[in-house]
């Protein structure tokens, strides 16, 4: 069997962000398949740090995927859908609001920080796809934006455009510092405290560990480019 080719750093980062974005959308058969397919990228991401949190989250996700494969798919999706709505949608009080403004704007949905994320997306010429029919600061939307920016950085690197690469990396670093990185820890902690679902506990574990790690990875890339210049 042919072994998969190792990913570049920004390709790996993109894969992790896409996996997390898919995981925090409403569960579908396609989403579960994409999560299972993304496990290898998550294993590679775990090697970027000696800390065990990402590896632990990956192990939880692998266990969930194995157990889900042995069960009836419809019943798994039904159970996940009910839990997703309880945690993130409503109609009752949400234990884990997935919107950045709840954490950054004093509990307000669609607050000033939401508008700020829209401005950032527009400045990058990015518009969430129809499958991300959520406010701009929904966790899945912010994660998908980061994935797109990782892809943009990889394209710039492939053609040797260091100026565009540096700009893309700085945009990512700023976005994490001012938006996603300011609230994902509180959100992930709420998810871990509120659910026994193997899927959502594993995603929260990975998210909680990944963002601080990626902030360090981004800073190292920016410093390396500055040194090269």
Can you give the CATH number for the domain in which 64 is found?
1.10.3480
- Domain-embedded: residue 120: no
Rounded to whole angstroms, how far apart are CA atoms 43 and 40? 5
Contact 42, 206 (CB under 8 A): yes
Rounded to whole angstroms, how far apart are CA atoms 46 and 117? 29
- Domain-embedded: residue 175: yes
Least confident of 5-14, 19-28, 40-49: 5-14
Number of domains in the chain: 1
Could you count the other beta carbons within 10 Å of the beta carbon of residue 121? 18
Mean pLDDT, rounded, of the chain: 91
- Domain-embedded: residue 79: yes
- Domain-embedded: residue 125: no
How do residues 75-111 score in pLDDT, each as one tens digit?
A: 899 999 999 999 999 888 899 999 999 999 998 888 9
How do residues 115-163 score in pLDDT, each as one tens digit?
A: 999 999 999 999 887 656 789 999 999 999 999 999 999 999 999 999 9
Q: What is the mean pLDDT of residues 205-211?
A: 95
| Residue in 185, 188, 148, 183 with CA at minimum distance from that of residue 168 | 148
Contact 100, 121 (CB under 8 A): no
Could you count the other beta carbons within 10 Å of the beta carbon of residue 224? 11
Residue 21 structural domain: 9-90+139-228
- Domain-embedded: residue 181: yes
Structure confidence at residue 228 (pLDDT): 66
Q: What is the mean pLDDT of residues 162-175?
A: 94
- Domain-embedded: residue 1: no
Location of structure tokens 């990913």: 7
- Domain-embedded: residue 96: no
- Domain-embedded: residue 118: no
Q: What is the mean pLDDT of residues 24-39?
A: 92
């Amino acid at each position: 069997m042919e072994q998969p080719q190792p990913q570049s750093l920004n390709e790996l980062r993109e894969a992790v962000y896409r996996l997390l974005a898919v995981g925090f959308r409403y569960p579908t058969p396609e989403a579960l398949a994409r999560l299972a397919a993304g496990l290898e990228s998550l294993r590679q991401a775990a090697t970027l740090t000696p800390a065990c949190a990402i590896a632990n989250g990956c192990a939880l996700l692998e266990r969930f995927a194995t157990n889900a494969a042995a069960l009836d798919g419809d019943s798994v999706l039904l159970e996940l859908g009910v839990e997703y709505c309880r945690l993130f949608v409503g109609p009752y009080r949400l234990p884990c609001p997935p919107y950045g403004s709840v954490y950054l704007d004093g509990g307000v949905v669609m607050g000033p920080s939401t508008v700020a994320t829209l401005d950032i997306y527009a400045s990058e010429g990015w518009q969430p796809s129809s499958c991300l029919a959520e406010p701009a600061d929904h966790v899945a939307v912010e994660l998908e934006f980061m994935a797109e920016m990782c892809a943009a950085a990889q394209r710039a690197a492939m053609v040797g455009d260091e100026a565009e690469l540096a700009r893309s990396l700085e945009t990512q670093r700023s976005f994490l510092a001012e938006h996603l990185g300011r609230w994902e820890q509180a959100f992930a902690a709420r998810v871990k405290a509120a659910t026994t679902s193997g899927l959502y506990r594993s995603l929260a574990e990975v998210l909680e560990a990944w963002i601080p790690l990626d902030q360090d990875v981004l800073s190292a890339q920016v410093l390396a480019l500055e040194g090269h210049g």
